[in-house]
Amino acid sequence: MQETVILTHADTDGICAGAVSLSRFPDAGIFFTKPVSLAHDLKHTEAKKIIITDIALSKPDIPEILNLFEKKKSEILYFDHHPLNKSVKNEISNLVKLFVHEEGVSASELVYRYYQNSIPKERVWIALYGAIGDYTEHTPFVEERIKNWDKRAVYFEVSTISLGIKNEEFSGYNAKREIVRFLAEGKNPSDVPGLVRNAKNAVNREFDLYETIKRKAKSFERIGYVIDLPSYGFRGSSALFAATVTNSPLGICAHTREKYIDITMRTRDYGLKLNVLAEQAAETVGGSGGGHPHAAGAKIPKNAFKDFLKALNDIMK
Protein backbone atom coordinates (compact mmCIF):
# COMPACT_ATOMS: atom_id res chain seq x y z
CA MET A 1 0.00 0.00 0.00
CA GLN A 2 1.28 3.44 -0.96
CA GLU A 3 1.88 5.99 1.76
CA THR A 4 0.19 8.89 -0.10
CA VAL A 5 -1.91 9.20 -3.26
CA ILE A 6 -3.05 12.48 -4.82
CA LEU A 7 -6.30 12.51 -6.82
CA THR A 8 -6.64 15.71 -8.79
CA HIS A 9 -8.32 17.29 -11.80
CA ALA A 10 -6.54 17.41 -15.16
CA ASP A 11 -7.03 21.12 -15.92
CA THR A 12 -4.55 23.90 -15.07
CA ASP A 13 -5.80 24.38 -11.51
CA GLY A 14 -5.89 20.64 -10.85
CA ILE A 15 -2.37 20.17 -12.24
CA CYS A 16 -1.07 23.00 -10.06
CA ALA A 17 -2.95 21.89 -6.93
CA GLY A 18 -1.53 18.42 -7.47
CA ALA A 19 1.97 19.87 -7.89
CA VAL A 20 1.77 21.80 -4.63
CA SER A 21 0.62 18.63 -2.90
CA LEU A 22 3.44 16.64 -4.49
CA SER A 23 5.94 19.26 -3.36
CA ARG A 24 4.80 18.50 0.20
CA PHE A 25 4.69 14.72 -0.34
CA PRO A 26 7.32 14.04 -3.05
CA ASP A 27 6.91 10.25 -3.00
CA ALA A 28 3.13 10.39 -3.54
CA GLY A 29 1.40 8.81 -6.48
CA ILE A 30 -0.38 11.19 -8.85
CA PHE A 31 -3.66 10.19 -10.46
CA PHE A 32 -6.14 12.28 -12.40
CA THR A 33 -9.87 11.97 -11.96
CA LYS A 34 -13.06 13.99 -12.53
CA PRO A 35 -16.44 14.40 -10.84
CA VAL A 36 -18.17 11.53 -12.65
CA SER A 37 -15.22 9.21 -11.92
CA LEU A 38 -14.39 10.19 -8.34
CA ALA A 39 -16.53 7.53 -6.65
CA HIS A 40 -15.01 4.76 -8.76
CA ASP A 41 -11.44 6.04 -8.39
CA LEU A 42 -11.74 6.66 -4.67
CA LYS A 43 -13.16 3.18 -4.15
CA HIS A 44 -10.14 1.61 -5.89
CA THR A 45 -7.46 3.82 -4.36
CA GLU A 46 -5.50 2.16 -1.55
CA ALA A 47 -3.17 4.42 0.42
CA LYS A 48 -2.60 5.51 4.00
CA LYS A 49 -3.22 9.13 2.98
CA ILE A 50 -5.45 10.26 0.09
CA ILE A 51 -5.36 13.91 -0.98
CA ILE A 52 -8.22 15.04 -3.22
CA THR A 53 -7.87 18.41 -4.95
CA ASP A 54 -10.10 20.36 -7.34
CA ILE A 55 -12.75 17.68 -7.82
CA ALA A 56 -16.41 18.72 -7.62
CA LEU A 57 -18.94 16.23 -6.33
CA SER A 58 -21.38 14.97 -8.95
CA LYS A 59 -24.81 15.27 -7.32
CA PRO A 60 -25.97 11.71 -8.12
CA ASP A 61 -22.74 10.31 -6.64
CA ILE A 62 -22.75 12.25 -3.36
CA PRO A 63 -24.33 9.47 -1.25
CA GLU A 64 -21.78 6.91 -2.50
CA ILE A 65 -18.86 9.30 -1.99
CA LEU A 66 -19.97 10.17 1.53
CA ASN A 67 -20.22 6.44 2.26
CA LEU A 68 -16.68 5.95 0.93
CA PHE A 69 -15.43 8.83 3.07
CA GLU A 70 -16.92 7.06 6.08
CA LYS A 71 -15.77 3.53 5.27
CA LYS A 72 -12.28 4.13 3.87
CA LYS A 73 -9.53 3.44 6.38
CA SER A 74 -7.32 6.02 4.67
CA GLU A 75 -6.65 9.49 6.05
CA ILE A 76 -8.52 11.71 3.57
CA LEU A 77 -7.70 15.37 2.93
CA TYR A 78 -10.08 17.16 0.55
CA PHE A 79 -9.39 20.60 -0.95
CA ASP A 80 -12.06 22.07 -3.22
CA HIS A 81 -13.74 25.26 -4.34
CA HIS A 82 -16.85 24.10 -6.20
CA PRO A 83 -20.31 25.02 -4.87
CA LEU A 84 -21.70 22.68 -2.22
CA ASN A 85 -24.78 22.99 -0.06
CA LYS A 86 -24.28 23.47 3.67
CA SER A 87 -25.54 20.07 4.75
CA VAL A 88 -23.13 18.22 2.42
CA LYS A 89 -20.22 20.38 3.61
CA ASN A 90 -21.06 19.58 7.21
CA GLU A 91 -21.21 15.84 6.47
CA ILE A 92 -17.86 15.89 4.68
CA SER A 93 -16.25 17.81 7.55
CA ASN A 94 -17.36 15.11 9.95
CA LEU A 95 -16.14 12.23 7.79
CA VAL A 96 -12.66 13.20 6.57
CA LYS A 97 -9.42 14.12 8.29
CA LEU A 98 -9.32 17.57 6.67
CA PHE A 99 -11.82 19.44 4.51
CA VAL A 100 -10.74 22.81 3.09
CA HIS A 101 -13.50 24.42 1.04
CA GLU A 102 -13.88 27.98 -0.21
CA GLU A 103 -15.71 29.22 -3.28
CA GLY A 104 -14.18 31.93 -5.44
CA VAL A 105 -10.67 30.67 -4.71
CA SER A 106 -8.60 28.23 -6.76
CA ALA A 107 -7.82 24.79 -5.39
CA SER A 108 -4.14 25.62 -5.94
CA GLU A 109 -4.38 28.58 -3.59
CA LEU A 110 -6.20 26.51 -0.97
CA VAL A 111 -3.58 23.75 -1.02
CA TYR A 112 -0.68 26.20 -0.98
CA ARG A 113 -2.10 28.19 1.92
CA TYR A 114 -2.42 25.00 3.94
CA TYR A 115 1.09 23.65 3.19
CA GLN A 116 3.01 26.91 2.70
CA ASN A 117 5.06 26.52 5.89
CA SER A 118 6.18 23.03 4.86
CA ILE A 119 7.35 23.69 1.28
CA PRO A 120 9.75 26.16 -0.40
CA LYS A 121 8.23 29.64 -0.54
CA GLU A 122 8.80 29.77 -4.31
CA ARG A 123 6.09 27.13 -4.73
CA VAL A 124 3.72 30.09 -4.47
CA TRP A 125 4.36 30.43 -8.20
CA ILE A 126 2.42 27.20 -8.71
CA ALA A 127 -0.50 28.60 -6.70
CA LEU A 128 -0.46 31.72 -8.87
CA TYR A 129 -0.43 29.62 -12.05
CA GLY A 130 -3.42 27.61 -10.88
CA ALA A 131 -5.39 30.65 -9.78
CA ILE A 132 -4.85 32.55 -13.02
CA GLY A 133 -5.55 29.44 -15.09
CA ASP A 134 -8.88 29.01 -13.26
CA TYR A 135 -9.83 32.73 -13.55
CA THR A 136 -9.66 33.20 -9.77
CA GLU A 137 -6.69 35.56 -9.61
CA HIS A 138 -8.58 38.43 -7.95
CA THR A 139 -8.38 37.09 -4.41
CA PRO A 140 -6.54 39.05 -1.72
CA PHE A 141 -3.94 36.26 -1.48
CA VAL A 142 -3.11 36.23 -5.21
CA GLU A 143 -3.23 39.99 -5.68
CA GLU A 144 -0.78 40.46 -2.80
CA ARG A 145 1.62 37.64 -3.78
CA ILE A 146 1.82 38.51 -7.46
CA LYS A 147 3.30 41.90 -6.54
CA ASN A 148 6.52 40.06 -5.66
CA TRP A 149 7.09 38.76 -9.19
CA ASP A 150 7.12 39.91 -12.80
CA LYS A 151 3.44 39.52 -13.71
CA ARG A 152 4.26 39.13 -17.41
CA ALA A 153 6.50 36.14 -16.71
CA VAL A 154 3.85 34.55 -14.48
CA TYR A 155 1.16 34.93 -17.15
CA PHE A 156 3.50 33.51 -19.77
CA GLU A 157 4.06 30.40 -17.67
CA VAL A 158 0.32 30.04 -17.00
CA SER A 159 -0.43 30.26 -20.71
CA THR A 160 2.23 27.65 -21.39
CA ILE A 161 0.30 25.16 -19.24
CA SER A 162 -3.26 26.14 -20.12
CA LEU A 163 -2.67 26.21 -23.86
CA GLY A 164 -0.03 23.49 -24.05
CA ILE A 165 -2.28 20.81 -22.53
CA LYS A 166 -4.91 21.43 -25.20
CA ASN A 167 -2.76 19.74 -27.83
CA GLU A 168 -2.70 15.97 -28.16
CA GLU A 169 0.93 15.61 -27.05
CA PHE A 170 0.08 16.87 -23.56
CA SER A 171 -3.61 16.03 -23.29
CA GLY A 172 -3.02 12.55 -21.85
CA TYR A 173 -2.65 11.79 -18.16
CA ASN A 174 0.95 10.55 -18.43
CA ALA A 175 2.11 13.81 -20.01
CA LYS A 176 0.20 15.87 -17.47
CA ARG A 177 1.73 13.79 -14.67
CA GLU A 178 5.17 14.83 -15.92
CA ILE A 179 4.11 18.49 -15.79
CA VAL A 180 3.03 17.99 -12.18
CA ARG A 181 6.42 16.48 -11.33
CA PHE A 182 8.33 19.31 -13.04
CA LEU A 183 6.37 21.94 -11.10
CA ALA A 184 6.69 20.10 -7.79
CA GLU A 185 10.50 20.08 -8.25
CA GLY A 186 10.53 23.86 -8.63
CA LYS A 187 10.85 23.98 -12.40
CA ASN A 188 8.77 26.25 -14.65
CA PRO A 189 6.13 25.08 -17.14
CA SER A 190 8.31 26.41 -19.94
CA ASP A 191 11.04 23.98 -18.81
CA VAL A 192 8.87 21.00 -19.78
CA PRO A 193 10.26 19.82 -23.15
CA GLY A 194 7.83 20.63 -25.95
CA LEU A 195 5.22 22.43 -23.85
CA VAL A 196 5.93 25.94 -25.17
CA ARG A 197 5.83 24.67 -28.75
CA ASN A 198 2.49 23.02 -28.11
CA ALA A 199 1.13 26.17 -26.48
CA LYS A 200 2.04 28.23 -29.56
CA ASN A 201 0.43 25.61 -31.77
CA ALA A 202 -2.72 25.78 -29.63
CA VAL A 203 -2.93 29.55 -30.11
CA ASN A 204 -2.82 29.08 -33.88
CA ARG A 205 -5.50 26.39 -33.66
CA GLU A 206 -7.76 28.64 -31.57
CA PHE A 207 -7.68 31.36 -34.23
CA ASP A 208 -8.56 28.75 -36.85
CA LEU A 209 -11.27 27.37 -34.55
CA TYR A 210 -12.89 30.79 -34.25
CA GLU A 211 -13.21 31.00 -38.02
CA THR A 212 -14.75 27.52 -38.12
CA ILE A 213 -17.27 28.37 -35.42
CA LYS A 214 -18.26 31.53 -37.28
CA ARG A 215 -19.43 29.23 -40.07
CA LYS A 216 -20.92 26.39 -38.04
CA ALA A 217 -22.43 27.87 -34.88
CA LYS A 218 -26.21 27.81 -34.50
CA SER A 219 -28.48 29.59 -32.07
CA PHE A 220 -31.54 28.64 -30.07
CA GLU A 221 -33.14 31.71 -28.49
CA ARG A 222 -30.48 32.94 -25.99
CA ILE A 223 -28.00 30.12 -26.61
CA GLY A 224 -25.27 29.74 -29.22
CA TYR A 225 -23.99 26.23 -29.77
CA VAL A 226 -21.77 23.95 -31.82
CA ILE A 227 -21.92 20.16 -31.99
CA ASP A 228 -19.20 17.57 -32.62
CA LEU A 229 -16.35 19.80 -33.72
CA PRO A 230 -13.09 17.84 -34.12
CA SER A 231 -11.16 20.09 -31.67
CA TYR A 232 -12.21 18.25 -28.51
CA GLY A 233 -9.44 19.75 -26.39
CA PHE A 234 -10.79 23.24 -27.09
CA ARG A 235 -14.27 22.76 -25.59
CA GLY A 236 -14.19 25.84 -23.37
CA SER A 237 -13.00 28.09 -26.17
CA SER A 238 -15.53 26.56 -28.56
CA ALA A 239 -18.41 27.24 -26.16
CA LEU A 240 -17.30 30.84 -25.62
CA PHE A 241 -16.82 31.43 -29.35
CA ALA A 242 -20.31 29.98 -30.01
CA ALA A 243 -21.74 32.62 -27.68
CA THR A 244 -19.60 35.35 -29.25
CA VAL A 245 -20.39 34.72 -32.92
CA THR A 246 -24.14 34.30 -32.28
CA ASN A 247 -24.24 37.30 -29.93
CA SER A 248 -25.74 35.10 -27.22
CA PRO A 249 -25.19 35.31 -23.45
CA LEU A 250 -24.64 31.54 -23.22
CA GLY A 251 -22.47 29.29 -25.38
CA ILE A 252 -22.40 25.50 -25.60
CA CYS A 253 -19.97 23.04 -27.12
CA ALA A 254 -21.52 19.56 -27.35
CA HIS A 255 -19.77 16.28 -28.15
CA THR A 256 -21.66 13.08 -28.84
CA ARG A 257 -20.33 10.03 -27.03
CA GLU A 258 -21.35 6.39 -27.36
CA LYS A 259 -24.06 6.61 -24.71
CA TYR A 260 -24.41 10.31 -23.84
CA ILE A 261 -23.71 13.90 -24.90
CA ASP A 262 -20.88 15.78 -23.21
CA ILE A 263 -21.79 19.45 -22.69
CA THR A 264 -19.38 22.35 -22.04
CA MET A 265 -20.86 25.75 -21.16
CA ARG A 266 -19.39 29.26 -21.06
CA THR A 267 -21.00 32.68 -20.70
CA ARG A 268 -20.40 36.30 -21.64
CA ASP A 269 -22.99 37.40 -19.06
CA TYR A 270 -21.45 37.07 -15.60
CA GLY A 271 -24.88 37.55 -14.06
CA LEU A 272 -25.71 33.98 -15.08
CA LYS A 273 -24.82 31.11 -12.77
CA LEU A 274 -23.90 28.33 -15.16
CA ASN A 275 -23.41 25.74 -12.44
CA VAL A 276 -27.05 26.18 -11.39
CA LEU A 277 -28.30 26.24 -14.99
CA ALA A 278 -26.30 23.13 -15.91
CA GLU A 279 -27.49 21.15 -12.89
CA GLN A 280 -31.17 22.07 -13.20
CA ALA A 281 -31.43 21.71 -16.99
CA ALA A 282 -29.53 18.41 -17.02
CA GLU A 283 -31.72 16.94 -14.28
CA THR A 284 -34.78 17.91 -16.33
CA VAL A 285 -33.66 15.55 -19.13
CA GLY A 286 -32.27 12.79 -16.94
CA GLY A 287 -28.64 13.90 -16.88
CA SER A 288 -26.27 15.58 -14.44
CA GLY A 289 -24.40 18.86 -14.46
CA GLY A 290 -22.51 21.42 -12.41
CA GLY A 291 -19.28 23.37 -12.19
CA HIS A 292 -18.57 27.05 -11.59
CA PRO A 293 -20.82 30.10 -12.10
CA HIS A 294 -19.01 31.07 -15.32
CA ALA A 295 -17.76 27.68 -16.53
CA ALA A 296 -19.86 24.54 -16.23
CA GLY A 297 -20.65 21.26 -17.92
CA ALA A 298 -23.20 18.48 -18.11
CA LYS A 299 -23.72 14.93 -19.26
CA ILE A 300 -27.11 14.23 -20.84
CA PRO A 301 -28.79 11.34 -22.74
CA LYS A 302 -28.02 11.20 -26.47
CA ASN A 303 -31.56 12.06 -27.58
CA ALA A 304 -32.04 14.94 -25.15
CA PHE A 305 -30.04 17.83 -26.64
CA LYS A 306 -32.99 19.90 -27.92
CA ASP A 307 -34.89 19.37 -24.68
CA PHE A 308 -31.78 20.43 -22.77
CA LEU A 309 -31.57 23.67 -24.76
CA LYS A 310 -35.25 24.36 -24.12
CA ALA A 311 -34.84 23.69 -20.41
CA LEU A 312 -31.88 26.07 -20.24
CA ASN A 313 -33.86 28.83 -21.93
CA ASP A 314 -36.88 28.26 -19.69
CA ILE A 315 -34.71 28.48 -16.56
CA MET A 316 -32.97 31.64 -17.81
CA LYS A 317 -36.35 33.30 -18.29
**Chain region(s) in the chain for CATH 3.90.1640:** 2-196
Phi then psi dihedrals of residue 260, to 5 deg: -155, 175
Q: Distance between CA 273 and CA 224 in Å, rounded? A: 17
E strand residue ranges, the chain: 2-8, 29-32, 47-53, 75-80, 98-101, 218-220, 223-227, 250-256, 260-267, 288-291, 295-301
Q: What is the pLDDT of residues 234-286, one digit of tens each?
A: 899 999 999 999 999 999 999 999 889 999 999 999 899 999 999 999 999 99
pLDDT at 317: 80
- pTM, 2 dp: 0.90
Kindly give the parts of the chain with pLDDT less than 70: 232
pLDDT at 243: 97
Fold classification of 2-196 is inorganic pyrophosphatase (n-terminal core) (3.90.1640)
pLDDT at 292: 85
| Cβ 107 vs Cβ 79: under 8 Å | yes
Number of H-type helices and E-type strands within the chain = 13, 11
pLDDT at 36: 85
Length of the chain: 317
Q: What is the pLDDT of residues 149-167, one digit of tens each?
A: 999 999 999 999 999 999 8
Beta-carbon count within 10 A of 164 CB = 27
Query: At a CB cut-off of 8 Å and minimum separation 6, what does 231 contact?
Result: 205, 209, 238
What region, left, alpha or beta, does residue 194 occupy, with left being phi > 0 and alpha being psi -120 to 50 degrees? left
pLDDT at 45: 96
**Chain region(s) in the chain for CATH 3.10.310.40:** 217-316
Q: Distance between CA 215 and CA 29 in Å, rounded? A: 44
Fold classification of 217-316 is Diaminopimelate Epimerase; Chain A, domain 1 (3.10.310)
